[in-house]
Amino acid sequence: MAGQTDPHISLFSPQEVEFMAEDELVQIVPNMNMEPLNFISGDFGRFVPQIPIEVPLWLAVALKRRGKCTFRPPGWLSVDNLTQILEAERESQSTFQALPFSYVEIARLLFDHARDDIPDMYMVRSLVEDIRDVRLHKLETNLGSFQGTSAVKISNVSAMEVNLVRPFVRRALEAFYKHDKPEADADRDTRSSRQPREANNEPRRPLRQR
Amino acid sequence: MASNSDLGSADFETLASTSDVELLKRAWRNEKAAPEILPYEAALIERAKGQIELVEENIEDYVENGIDPLVVSLYQMDLDRTQFLLRSYLRVRLLKIEKFMFHNLKSEEAESRLSEQEKVFAKSCADDLAKHFEESVLLKLPENYQSVLKQSLISEVDDMVPQPHLDTFVVCRSKNFVSLNLYEEGESPETVEMERGDLYFIRYKIVKGAIESGKIDLI
């Protein structure tokens, strides 16, 4: 069950990214009575019909599947708001709009499990897909103009986006850093730590190229 | 335990308002994202184990007492999620121990990051591997080349010991405002200032201290 991802390929698997998103709180409206649930992850409830309540996404999905509640979609997941975001994303080539860190995963889980609770579901879904595509394209383009070799700020980039570009960016920045190091440091490096690094049994880069 | 005791009072407040599951998730994410093994979260893991056992017992009671199966299944899901975090955390550590076993046993500082069971595991792994190398290859080589740790006797350092690559880059998010030195001492000082919630691709060495003191999370 607790499968591990190869730390060299991608740090977190898509399932693990989704796992983290499932802890985000969402609003639901229960249609049954239930005593408070005292979970390890926190206390939720009590549940009273027609009284909205905030619960983690995984719990909301579990209740929804059994027909015990309806979702209140988060405010950002509306046609109006998404249309605005999409326009703003298209307008600026360098900045990203503020969206929840796990917006892709949250939207996806809601589309899969709560389609009848989202007004204009098809419109909303296609907007989210457009936003995702525009952002990914922008992110790829922006990778070409990375500045700085020790710290690069990435504002408003989401969990899935970080995970996608991580392997590439990590290797690129490692290479920048290596070539940018001051001479003295490079000398010291050759003497003291180059050999151990050669002996490191991590996969060699040329072998990993496809 | 060590990592909890040296937290300041401001950190303690954020800690007090955070559930153990949140802390476990943070430990799991950091462990997965960091290139080297981080200090073992002994106190946290003990608490998490205790809570898991308690909930396991509760669930058995619920089943016996005929509580609504829906409620039981929800408790079971919550339990599964916590168990996943705990298992995955421990397994990531085992992976790293296997990868850097000689390195982890080389210095006291590195060894202090392991739990008692992990130390036993690392030692037996390292002993077995050394024995295997010696029997299959090393003892058949000329005398100067028989060390498991060195290429040859003239090597000054243990150059056959794989080490974590600390100059690698990680993604981090700061919890509060922090100011970090970009370079090591002796170089032109330059700092990076992170606001709360900022995301950065950053060299691991720069944030290493801030991760261990809980100011910054890896993602």
pLDDT tens profile B153-167? 888 888 888 888 888
Pick the CATH number of B165-219 from 3.40.50.720, 3.40.5.60, 3.40.50.1980, 3.30.420.280: 3.40.5.60
CA separation for the pair A194, A186 (Å, rounded): 10
| CB crowding B121-131: b at 16 or more within 10 Å, else e | bbeebbeeebe
The architecture in CATH of the region A14-143 reads 3-Layer(aba) Sandwich (3.40)
The conformational region for residue B192 under phi > 0 = left, psi -120 to 50 = alpha, else beta, is beta
Phi, psi dihedrals of residue A28, rounded to the nearest 5°: -130, 160
Alpha-carbon distance of B219 to B206, in angstroms, equals 15
**pLDDT for residue A204:** 39
Measured in angstroms, the CA of A71 and the nearest CA of chain B are apart by 18
The domain ranges of chain B are: 1-98, 101-163, 165-219
Mean pLDDT for back-to-back runs of 10 residues, chain A (210 residues):
44 91 95 94 93 96 95 94 95 90 95 93 95 93 76 88 89 85 50 41 41
Do the Cβ atoms of B84 and A2 come within 8 Å? Answer: yes
**Residues A73-110 pLDDT 10s:** 999 999 999 999 999 999 988 889 999 999 999 999 99
Residue of B52, B155, B187 with shortest CB distance to A182: B187
Report yes or no: B67 at the A interface, CB cutoff 8 Å. Answer: no
Spatial distance between the Cα atoms of A118 and B196, rounded to a whole number of angstroms: 32
- Compute, in degrees rounded to 10, the torsion defined by CA atoms A109, A112, A115, A121: 80
* d(CA B17, nearest CA chain A) in Å: 11
Size of interface A-B (CB pairs under 8 A): 137
* Ramachandran assignment for B93, one of left (phi > 0), alpha (psi -120 to 50 degrees), beta (any other): alpha
Of the candidate CATH numbers 3.40.50.280, 1.20.58.1030, 1.10.520.10, 2.40.10.220, the domain formed by B1-98 belongs to: 1.20.58.1030
CB atoms within 10 A of CB A200: 18
Mean pLDDT of chain A: 83
Q: Domains of chain A: which residue ranges? A: 14-143
Q: Which residue of A has its CA nearest to B201?
A: A152
CB contact under 8 Å between B202 and A152, yes or no, is yes
Number of H helices, E strands in chain B: 9, 5
CA–CA distances in Å: residue A90 to residues A80, A94, B56, B118? 16, 10, 51, 51
B149-207 pLDDT tens trace? 888 888 888 888 888 888 889 999 988 888 887 776 555 667 888 888 888 999 898 89
